[in-house]
Structure 1
């Protein structure tokens, strides 16, 4: 078995019904893992699961609102029961609501903090409880949190989002130390994706136009490309491959780390 082979591993990907999450779930499955898609969008999540199954993967849809403790408890229980364990949790679910600071809506900021920050820390909490010795799975594992290049750069109109993703970075590092010191056997890392032209990514581009910072969507995209040394947007596969690395034995001595996958934008 190669160090990137995930055969026999069981994974839960939050926000896995579409976009980056769906791509990450597909990459984990391609590497051999059984995958649960955790999402509030059953209408999108179930077809994603069926697509994974059509390619020979073991897959399950799990209803999950990451902001709710009871939802996490039920999702972890269902995942362990359906897949026969839990070794990998990818805390990918997140939202981005753009605004200049001068126009910020406090309810938008609270919503981002609830999903991006509370959702992530609850994901780590329940991953630890399941994966640590004596837990429902009990074999240790890997937690991968999806932060953002927004945590490392100053880009207009995303102050609240940047704050929430910076929090994901700090939470990751504290959780990694706790897991190591307390003997949970769970590595905790995070990824900082650059802009990817998913539905969420292109909404940000449109928001930049609506706010008046670019004339049109291609212009908004060009603002990002100009700040990126590799001179392109990211692709779903760019992010998914790093998630597979962090889930695998290739990263067995990596914990408490944040890996930029941003084409150098955050340099």
Structure 2
């Protein structure tokens, strides 16, 4: 005779907390209030006149400028935009790692609070505002744009790096310290290798974002493709602007594909 197997009742579904429900209702109320207060003219957007005007405007971009001299100028601006984003991200990664050490609480609660406040202020100011400020000190050109990307991105990466360090297991470093290792070697051999793949992934992702930001920073005179785009659009030279926009799209697609491949290699 086979023993009768008792069937356990499935666990009850988790309940919703009152605080979570109130938060969701508050977010829903904000969305409804946003639609109610903003003057969204959906009917004017989908009229035949609006569609016809948009079609005529987009048709003005065709065909893109393909003169050899202009293509060489666009290629130079593309390389400048790439260099701005890569150098700005590299400087930000180095500064973010240095700031992440006190921001992760390794030097006490006071240093953690001060560094976190510094990182919050750095990333709260948009890149365009940093570029406008640094243009006064560094002058027009890619140097100010590179510094603007570095300052803003350092605040972002510093916060992400600090969180990654805080989430690592403290046991390997504690074991090395108990066996006589100094603080810095214990950190480099035990804690940093745990957080390094995540840090590299964050850095590559921010590099993708900085490619787009570097293209926009040229609007305020920071060089690169953005400065070319602003110049030709202000003169209503739509064919030249179309070539610059295509170069932006190709650059972003190239960096996205390269960053995706690098992240896959790092996560193996």
TM-score (norm 2): 0.29
Bigger relative CO (Cα 8 Å, ≥ 6 apart)? 2
* Greater C-alpha Rg: 2
TM-score (norm 1): 0.29
